[in-house]
């Protein structure tokens, strides 16, 4: 997971993440909701922003826009769930796909 410029290792396989996403992008967010709430505070809303999948490279990136209200702060922040051998490379590929309009919305 990538939140507030920090990577956090998640205990899920590529298959588990993709299967949760296939049930619905917000089902996947349910796997990290508690972690996000601990970091940000109360979650007021979640919207799926975009998904990038590269099966050949086994890269999976899903971004959510999360509305939150915490102690002394509130707003909207992007939260990404990433599966990749190299998360930095995965983010670069995600942003490249975003620029080209190739994210799954």
Which uninterrupted H or E stretch holds 29?
Answer: helix 25-29
pLDDT, tens digit (0-9, with 9 covering 90-100), for 7-42: 889 999 999 999 999 999 999 999 999 999 999 999
Q: Which residue has the higher pLDDT, 77 or 5?
A: 77
Q: For residue 85, how far is the Cα from the chain centroid? A: 16
Residue 2, pLDDT score: 81
Residue 77 · residue 46 · CB < 8 Å: no
pLDDT, tens digit (0-9, with 9 covering 90-100), for 68-91: 998 889 999 999 999 999 999 999
Residue 3, pLDDT score: 84
Contacts of 27 (CB under 8 A, 6+ apart): 20, 21
């Amino acid at each position: 997971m990538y939140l507030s410029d920090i990577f956090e290792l998640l205990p899920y396989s590529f298959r588990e993440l993709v299967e949760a996403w296939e049930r619905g992008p917000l089902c996947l967010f349910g796997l990290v909701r508690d972690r996000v709430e601990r970091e940000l505070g109360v979650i007021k809303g979640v919207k799926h922003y975009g998904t990038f999948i590269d099966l050949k490279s086994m890269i999976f990136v899903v971004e959510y826009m999360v509305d939150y209200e915490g102690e002394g702060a509130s707003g909207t922040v992007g939260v990404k769930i990433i599966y990749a051998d190299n998360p930095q490379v995965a983010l670069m590929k995600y942003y490249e796909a975003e620029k080209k309009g190739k994210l799954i919305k």
